[in-house]
Amino acid sequence: MSTLPTSSREWHLVARPHGWPKAEDFALREVPVAEPGEGHVLVRNLHFSVDPYMRGRMNDVKSYVAPYQLDRPMDGGAVGEVIASNAEGFAVGDHVLHGLGWREYAQVPARHATKVDSSLAPLSAYLGVLGMTGLTAYAGLFEVASFKEGDTVFVSGAAGAVGSQVGQLARLKGASRVIGSAGSDDKVKLLVEKYGFDAAFNYKEPRPVAEQLKEAAPDGIDVYFDNVGGEHLEAAISSLKLHGRVTVCGMIAQYNNTEPAPGPRNLALFIGKRLRMQGMLVNDHVALQPQFVQEVSAWIRSGELKYDETVVEGIENGYDAFVGLLRGENTGKMIVSLTR
């Protein structure tokens, strides 16, 4: 194993952000690389994911996932190549999906590594359209929101990795109308022309979201897939029809708030409309994985389901990629690539 690298760079959280994360809250540090221990594989990461939920893990608060520790490497989804193995069933050259991103090399317990096939899809797709992101869209629409053919669906943050897939899945399964919101005119154009949304609007326009949604869906909506929260959620509640359903996947509009965000002012509408709103975590829906991969991979191969990635090259740009994600600078999945 003399050919193994001797050191690796990895991102550490060194201070808990107050409001928007700042560069000084993070440090890119060099650490030694050891041979893999018993039952482990050493992986050279090729791509790692940055995701909105990671902002919550930077706060020292109790949540559904443990907060990042200070002066320790951050983690998240990654895909890479095994360069040394001390685990049965894994060989040098295998490609694996695992949870130790934000670093160049990772010593991964074999039980936490999943082999992936680069002949079926590009490796980065296993972090997005065929990974946790895609399963979130699939489970959130079909299982949590109880989507049915003929529904009118509204997706906020629809040009993001999850939102763009939700809209397309709804269309492929027979939605009567699919509406999306996005943060720029270019993204609005993308939603309609590439992803097949029936209507879309720019939520950064001066006009209220509620007004734009009413214009796009004059007869109301049956399902709201929430990635944004705030004004979007209030607008959706007003537009939901009788027995409407809301999947709460994310609330990126308030992740960097330093004060509690005001709640929707129209919650009383839940009573008369008999609305249902449910939060979701993708880990609750892993049983859908085989069905999800079979159905979605077929749509990808046929060209019926399209996806985009925003790729940032170089581990040294990991912080910039993450903050860019929070600012909405990505189209589709935000990926940090280490292949150069």
Mean pLDDT of 74-99: 97
CB distance 323 to 26 below 8 Å:
no
Which of the four pLDDT bands, split at 50, 70 and 90, describes residue 121?
Answer: confident
What type of residue sits at position 78?
A: A
Beta-carbon contacts of residue 286 (< 8 Å; ≥ 6 apart): 135
CATH homologous superfamily of 7-128+308-337: Medium-chain alcohol dehydrogenases, catalytic domain (3.90.180.10)
Q: In angstroms, how far is the first alpha carbon of the chain from the final one? A: 23
**Which sequence spans correspond to the domains of the chain?**
7-128+308-337, 132-283
Residue 2 confidence (pLDDT) above 70: no
CB distance 124 to 309 below 8 Å:
yes
Each residue's pLDDT tens digit, 140-178:
999 999 999 999 999 999 999 999 999 999 999 999 999
Each residue's pLDDT tens digit, 217-233:
999 999 999 999 999 99
Residue 199 confidence (pLDDT) above 60: yes
Percent of the chain with pLDDT over 70: 99
Q: Which of 264, 298, 325, 267 is nearest to 138 (CA)?
A: 298
Q: What is the 3-state secondary structure (H, E, C) of 222-253?
A: EEEEECCCCHHHHHHHHHEEEEEEEEECCCHH
Q: Which of 276, 302, 290, 315 is nearest to 144 (CA)?
A: 276
CATH class for domain 132-283?
alpha beta
pTM: 0.85
Beta bridge partners of residue 154, listed in sequence order = 179, 224
Joined tokens for residue 118: 């680069």
